[in-house]
Amino acid sequence: MYDETGLPTWFLIGSNSLFFPIWGDGERTLINWLQDLREEYKFNPILITAFPEIEGYDDNIPFETVRLSAKVEYNRNLIIYLNKIRNENIDTDVFIPVLKNRFDIDLEDSSQWGDIKNLLADKFPFSVFLAVDEWADEQLTPLIMNNLNPEHNPDYMRSIVSIKLSHELYGSIEKDTNCDLFLHSSPYEYIRNQNSITFYESIQENKTRLFLYPKPKPFNSVKSFGGNMLKWDLRPYDYIYYYPTISKGSPIIVNLALNYPNKKFLV
C-alpha cells in the first residue's frame, strides 16, 4: 500500500511482551493481523521489543524485529521462569525485577532508547504506531509522537496515527491511553466491564475504538462431525471455554452469554 505521497506504508509496533516463541493467543492474533496487512495491503511491519533474543531459542516472528536488549545465552532456568510467567499470569511489577536480578535482563534500561531514535531517524515513513502493552503505550508513544510529529520534525511531513492494542478489558479500572485510539479483538460493548472506573464521563465521550476479530484456525467444523450436517446442527454447545480466570476470562464470558442468549456455552 502506498500513501498519498507515493511512499510505502510502514507499520511500527512496540511491545515488551514475551515474543519468543509466540505462545499466547493474543500474540498469535497480532501476528496474523500483521501478516494479512503485509500480504494483502503491502504494509511493512517492524517490531520494537525490549526482550532479548535467547541463544538457541527459535524466534518465529515473520517480519523485521528490533531488539533493544543484547542477545543472552540459553538458560534453562530462564525458560522455566518464562513459562511460569505465562502459566501463572505473573504481573510485570513482579517479573521485571526478577529478570533483572536473576538473569541480568533489564527491560527498563533507558539507554536502549538511543536505538529507537536511530530507527526513527532513518527514512522509514511510518504511518501507524501500534502500542501492544503498557510499556509501549507509556514509554514509547510519547517518544514516537515527538519524533514523528511534523510540528517537532519538519522533515517528516506527515502525522502518524497511534493505536493502543487491548484484546480484553477486565478489572475494576479501565485505563486511558497516550495513543489516538484503541483496537480490540471483539466489539467494545461486549467486552467492557460496565462497573469499572473509566477515564471518561460517559460512553459518548469515550475514545474511538476499532475492533478486528481474530483469524479463525483452519479446520472444517462439519467434517469434525463425520460430515453429518444434522450432527453439527445438534451439537450441544456453540462455545467452550476451558479454565477461565475469575478476574479476567469469566466476566467476558458472562457478557458474551448475556449478549448472545440463543447460544450455548460450556465453561
Distance CA 82, CA 76 (A): 10
Per-residue confidence (pLDDT) for residue 59, from 0 to 100: 62
CB 148 within 8 A of CB 160: yes
Per-residue confidence (pLDDT) for residue 232, from 0 to 100: 74
Per-residue confidence (pLDDT) for residue 206, from 0 to 100: 83
Per-residue confidence (pLDDT) for residue 130, from 0 to 100: 92
> Could you tell me whether strands 265-266 and 239-240 are parallel, antiparallel, or unpaired per DSSP bridges?
parallel
**What single string gives the DSSP state of each residue in 201-258?**
SSGGGSPPEEE-PPPPP---TTGGGTT-HHHHHT-S-SEE--S--TTTHHHHHHHHHH
Residue 15: φ, ψ to 5°: -155, 140
Q: Cell digits for 238?
A: 456453540
Cα 92–132–37 angle (5° rounding)?
Answer: 155
Per-residue confidence (pLDDT) for residue 183, from 0 to 100: 92
Q: Per residue of the chain (267 residues), what is the pLDDT tens digit?
A: 444 444 456 778 888 765 555 555 677 788 888 888 888 877 888 888 888 888 876 566 788 888 888 888 888 898 888 877 766 667 777 888 888 899 888 887 777 777 777 777 665 677 888 998 888 898 888 888 777 766 666 665 566 889 999 877 766 788 889 999 999 988 888 788 778 888 887 777 788 999 888 776 655 666 666 777 787 778 788 887 766 766 667 778 888 889 999 988 888
Per-residue confidence (pLDDT) for residue 109, from 0 to 100: 78
- Cα distances from 188 to residues 40, 224, 237, in angstroms, run 26, 32, 24
Cα 132–99–176 angle (5° rounding)?
Answer: 30
Distance CA 206, CA 198 (A): 9
| Distance, CA of 156 to chain centre | 26
Strand partners, 205: none
Q: Cell digits for 131?
A: 502500542
Regarding pTM above 0.85, the answer is no
- Cα distances from 83 to residues 17, 69, 157, 249, in angstroms, run 13, 20, 44, 20
Quick one: CA dihedral 23, 27, 31, 33, positive or negative? positive
First to last CA, the chain: 42
